[in-house]
Amino acid sequence: MIPPTFDYIRPSSIEEAVSALSQAGEDAKVLAGGQSLMPLLRLRLAYPDALIDLDRVESLRQIRSENGDLFIGAMATHHQVVRDPLVLEHAPLIAKATATVADPAVRHRGTFGGSLAHADPAGDLPAVALALDAVFVVRSVRGDREIPAADFFVDWMTSAMEPDELLIGVRVPKLGPGWGAHYEKFHRTAQAWAIVGVACAVRRERGAIEDARVALTNMGPAPVRATEVERFIEGRSVSENSFRAASERAAEGTEPPGDLHGSPEYRTHLARVLTARALTAAAAV
Amino acid sequence: MPRIRVEVDGVTYEDDVEPRLLLVHYLRDRLGKVGTPIGCDTTNCGACTVLFDGMSVKSCSVLAVQADGRGITTVEGLGTDGTNHPMQRAFHEEHALQCGFCTPGMILASIDLLRENADPSEEEIREGLEGNLCRCTGYQNIVRAVRKAADEMRQPAQSEVAP
């Protein structure tokens, strides 16, 4: 199908983009990689007045170390993230999860920031950002603002960004030695959207789990931390039994949706099974 | 209306395009490159895959205006002087198509796959082509064709070997 009409704005710097966004008003959309937005336009599920295309804002594609953290520019493509030496070294969970996003052609255009700002409950990266305690850096003509991942994902496809705010990038605290990470998801073969996904990072010390972060994809309108799992597993030995007991708590406090891919009961079951797998894989450091 | 300058299959075109015009519609309706089919409209099937500055993209999910200043390769730009690209030849020889609808996308995605991994395993081929759906379910022969093309493309062509 043919998308609705819109004004097209192609800034070449962050400043131009922010200023265009402020002038364009509430009904403008930012076009990042377009791999979610273009289908929405074609299916006429979105009718923006204007598209502000970030494709030529090269400075938004940088991935760098910054004050001890990893900073991933909003327009870094999935293809870029999966291969980036800094990401592989300091945030392997991001690389692992990103490799499961869609397919190679989509990963060539799709972006890290675009996926996060889209806030699709079935998207993989929101839960990963939540598990890693990432911080979202957003900019508007009013200045910069930092939003912790725990506050960024508000509801179904809704983030805490104001309409005039642009996601510049995401700051990710580096995981030091002793940490292991894994992303486990269940999906249909022909589509990579998670029916349920589990992002997990654990720190092992002397045969025990000292620190655990577990976040769930598609177990509610926004990603959620499996806090009961984290609380249970911390301080316990690295063993199949403790992982199984912890994962029994995976669905506590969640509101899994029911749709043609699975009922809430099925998702609850999946969350438990996948959490046990993710813990096991992550703890194998 | 924005004006774009884009190289498609080695030829440079300059055109005024409506911002909402999809790259696949530009290729088919304006340039007559109907070798690039439209499959699903949901960015799922990969039938409309083309190379965008050498990398595979689904041309239904890119605006024509975004191709301004870029180079596009469609299935029609493969091969030279009437000879087929080794990937096209392998698809032909291994009978890697039945209805043929997915074939242009499969061929371009396969070329992109070999650009990154010149010697992929069967598993890597299946994963590399996960964004391209064949509803005749001819995957067996497609995977075999990509393996064959990989072998061939890693060998220097006979004619190029110095006597």
Give the number of other CB atoms < 10 A from CB of residue A27. 12
For chain B, which residues make up each domain, given as ranges? 3-77, 86-155
* A268-281: burial string, b at 16+ Cβ within 10 Å, e else: bbbbbbbbbbbbbb
Q: CA A157, A160, A164, A166 torsion: positive or negative? A: negative
Q: Which residues of B touch A38 (CB under 8 A)?
A: 22, 43, 60-63
The CATH number of B86-155, from 3.90.1170.40, 3.40.50.2000, 1.10.150.120, 3.40.1190.20, is 1.10.150.120
pLDDT tens digits for B9-53?
A: 999 999 999 999 999 999 999 999 999 999 997 899 999 999 999
Check CB contact under 8 Å for B25 and A104. Answer: no
Please give the Cα distance from A145 to A161 (Å, whole number). Answer: 10
pLDDT band at B157 (very low <50, low <70, confident <90, very high): low
- A105·B56 Cβ contact <8 A: yes
Half-sphere exposure (CA, 13 Å, Cβ side) for A221?
8
- Give A1's contacts in chain B (Cβ within 8 Å): 41
The answer regarding whether domain B3-77 maps to CATH 3.40.50.1820 reads no
Can you tell me the ipTM of this complex? 0.94
3-state class (DSSP) for residue A172 = strand
User: Would you write out chain A's pLDDT as a tens digit for each of its 285 residues?
Assistant: 899 999 999 999 999 999 999 999 899 999 999 999 999 999 999 999 999 999 999 999 999 999 999 999 999 999 999 999 999 999 999 999 999 999 999 999 999 999 999 999 999 999 999 999 999 999 999 999 999 999 999 999 999 999 999 999 999 999 988 999 999 999 987 778 899 999 999 999 999 999 999 999 999 999 999 999 999 999 999 999 999 999 999 999 999 999 999 999 999 999 999 999 999 999 995
| Contact list, B19 vs chain A (CB under 8 Å) | 5-8, 51
- Let me know: does A20 contact A52? Beta carbons within 8 Å: yes
Task: Give A202→chain B minimum CA distance, Å.
Answer: 28
Packing angle of the helix pair B103-116, B139-154 (nearest 10 deg): 40
The residue of chain A nearest to residue B128, with distances taken between CA atoms, is A104
Q: How many beta-carbon pairs below 8 A join chains A and B? A: 83
Q: Which of A169, A157, A171, A167 is nearest to A30 (CA)?
A: A167
Tell me if chain B has a CB within 8 Å of the CB of A185.
no
Instruction: Give contacts of A4 with chain B, Cβ < 8 Å.
Output: 20
CA pair distance A93, B107, nearest whole angstrom? 32
| Host H or E run for residue A199 | strand A196-205
Residues 103..142 of A with a Cβ closer than 8 Å to B: which? 103-106, 108-109
Closest by CA to A202, choosing from A221, A184, A179, is A179
> Which residue segments constitute the domains of chain A, with CATH numbers given?
7-53 (3.30.43.10), 58-173 (3.30.465.10), 179-283 (3.30.390.50)
Q: How far apart, in whole angstroms, are the C-alpha atoms of residue B90 and residue B107? A: 10
Query: What residue in A sits closest to B41 (Cα-Cα)?
Result: A1
For residue A70, what are its two tokens?
Answer: 């990893």
Nearby residues of B127 by Cβ (< 8 Å), 6 or more positions away: none
| Secondary structure of residue A58 in the 3-state scheme | helix
| Interface contact A38, partner B, CB < 8 A | yes
Q: Does A25 touch chain B if contact means CB atoms closer than 8 Å?
A: no
